[in-house]
Amino acid sequence: MRTSRYAVRAASVAFLGAVLVGCSSEQSDGPDVAKPAPSKPAQKAAEESPSPSASKSAAPVIAVGETGTFDVGETDDYGENYKVTTRMQVTAVSAKYVTPAEVDTTNQPEQGQYVKLTLTLKNVGKAPAEIMTYGMMQWEDVQTAAQDASTLEGVGEGPDLDTTYKPGQSVTGTLVLDVARRGGKVSYVGGDDPGEGPTFVVRLPK
């Protein structure tokens, strides 16, 4: 009788241990399934997604008498991570085709035709903006690919567009550009966002 009683107790203890082990296994599995840890690549992608303010808006395309606004920005020391810092307003006041004598020069236009383009630039943002047009003005039309249109003709006459504009400041000045023929469009390709196209575009009259 003693042997039988001990055998029953041993069997009961073994059964109780198996039940406890089974419950413990089910509880440990629960949290892993209910709360999966977020993957590191997903977290990193969310952190690295660019801010909407870092992208530059489309360049305005205006005709004489029209006004548009464009972004001015900067990059880091490596020429990367462009961000918009302020906004400028451009108005095409007039565009007049002229002869060398009319701009007081004996130099003939290399491309074929001089045009006096008068612009008003105004800083409508909240930070200073530096504008440098020389070497940054290109002309093109449906026949001719983009060509540098900058000249030194007329420099020193009237206000200079190439300067630093504080918020609220503006300048109305004239550029004498060298274009192949009447018509087409002049693009300002200055700025610190290389490879992103022009900053603003002026359609010239024919």
Query: Measuring CA to CA, which residue among 111, 61, 112, 115 is closest to residue 90?
Result: 61
Angle at 50 between CA 49 and CA 51, to 5 degrees: 120
pLDDT at 147: 96
User: pLDDT > 70: what percent of the chain?
Assistant: 70
Name beta bridge partners: 66.
none
Question: What integer best gives the mean pLDDT of the chain?
Answer: 81
Chain center to CA of 175: 26
pLDDT in tens, 124-151: 999 999 999 999 999 999 999 999 999 9
Angle at 93 between CA 87 and CA 95, to 5 degrees: 120
Predicted structure pTM score: 0.71
Burial 27-61 (b: 16+ CB within 10 A, else e): eeeeeeeeeeeeeeeeeeeeeeeeeeeeebeebbe
Is the pLDDT at 87 greater than 90, yes or no?
yes
pLDDT in tens, 13-61: 444 444 444 444 445 455 554 555 544 444 444 444 334 345 667 899 9
